[in-house]
Amino acid sequence: MANSVDLAETVRAKRLRIVAALSARFGDVELAENAFAEACVRAAATRSPPRDWAAWLYAVAQRIAVDSLRHSRVVRAHAEAAASFDEEVSVSERSMIPDRRLALFFACCHPAIDIASRVALALSTICGFSAKQISRACLLSPAAVSQRLVRAKKKLADSGIMFEIPDSRFFAERLEAVLCTIEIAYSQAHASSDPDGEQALLARQTLELVDILATLMPGNAQVNALAAALWFSEARRPARRDTAGKMIPLEDQDPQLWDRSMLARARDYYGQVDTAQDVSLRTLQADIQALWCSRRRQSDPAPWNRVLARYDRMIAIRDSAFIRLNRVVAIHKLQGAAAALREFEELPCAALEGSPAYHAVGAELLSHTQSVREAIQAYDTAIGLQEGSSRILLLPVSPFSLLDSTEG
């Protein structure tokens, strides 16, 4: 039987690249995903593990896709793609998997797909999120997410959308959905401080994608601001847990443990953003990250006053429930739990009810105001909304996730 550890690692690390290459080859995301899934099933059953699992999976998935096309009702529409595939080519000759990840990303965010479905499709295809994960990230029902995914994949297959990086003239119409997807994906990855787990892998993949995007679009303030925010945040991963595995609040972390090379990369991106001229939610978000990462020692004061000022500027741009939730945390630190609880009670519950962070912040405030029973109930709700007991709540105190994912 196959070496399950090596195979599992390859599937985790190479899924996106292989699915992207298959999607570009056959012009059908669903076909690519199904072929890759079937290739993984066959890999688990093979008795002769290959030297290169990624190349093996790519070659076998291509054969599966071709077989599927040949037996489908639409084989004539795909005859050219099927005919061009040489089934006799060996796995070793197909070890070079083309990197079509960003091309797939832009295809998922094509304006022909309704805006409400673009981010969901990208999260599913690019990040491998399940409908349940997307529903929690975007505060939608799993059924609604599943319907959006079905419609979006059909539109992608039926519209003849090219799986390629578009001409720079068309970047703007797709860029927002691309950046939103990266934000949501990284927010989910940031929820765990494990340096080697699945979420850490997702974090590395989103960082790699934003780096590619920054290379593709040099000088773009939105891209550089997001890249800076992500790298600042990721640089702090080594300091997020103590030796017992307990989460350490950002203001209590030891800056000496932060990753210096990642901080340098973040500052390089941040230095390319004119925060005085290019004022937006993302540039302000990068500003907040830079403020936190300007601390040199654990004894340096937390920049809560300046952080609160940035949240106020964000609200002036877009009055978002999630930004206000972040602002409540800052008020708690500056003015105390009672003042923060008053602000918390003014938040729009309907927009935040499905967010574990909302209930966790409420529980924290209630626990400081002698409302122990209500605090316990709020904590229980927050835990119930998490996707597993091993996941760490992504509290707005981080402060990374400022994206109001209820939009779009």
Whole-prediction pTM: 0.76
- Average pLDDT in the 377-401 region? 55
Q: What is the CATH code for 314-408?
A: 1.25.40
Residue 172 neighbours by CB distance under 10 Å: 10
State the DSSP string of 115-160.
HHHHHHHHHHHTT---HHHHHHHHT--HHHHHHHHHHHHHHHHHTT
Distances from the Cα of 137 to the Cα of 106, 130, 267, angstroms: 21, 11, 28
Average pLDDT over residues 151-170: 80
| Summary mean pLDDT of the chain | 82
Angle of helix 221-235 relative to helix 171-190, nearest 10 degrees?
10
Which residues are within 8 A (CB) of 327 and not within 5 positions of it... i.e. 6 or more apart? 308, 311, 312, 315, 343
Band of the pLDDT at 288, cuts 50, 70, 90?
very high
Residue 306 clears pLDDT 50, i.e. is over it: yes
Q: Evaluate if residue 392 carries a pLDDT over 70.
A: no
Q: Is 1 or 48 the better-scoring residue by pLDDT?
A: 48
pLDDT digits 0-9 by tens, 240-261: 888 888 888 889 999 999 999 9
Contact 265, 259 (CB under 8 A): no
Q: What percent of the chain has pLDDT over 70?
A: 85
Model pLDDT for residues 315-336, shown as the tens digit of each residue: 999 998 989 999 999 999 999 9
What is the structure's pLDDT at 177?
A: 84
Give residue-wise pLDDT tens across range 212-230: 889 888 899 999 999 999 9
Give the model's pLDDT for residue 210. 92
What's the pLDDT score for residue 92? Answer: 47
Tell me the pLDDT band of 388, cut-offs 50, 70 and 90: very low
Domain boundaries, the chain: 4-94, 101-146+157-217, 219-237+261-294, 314-408
- pLDDT(285) > 50: yes
Residue 70 pLDDT class (50, 70, 90 cuts): confident
Is residue 62 pLDDT above 50, yes or no?
yes
DSSP H/E element including 25: helix 4-26
Both tokens of 211, joined, read: 């780096």
Q: Which residue has the higher pLDDT, 325 or 106?
A: 325
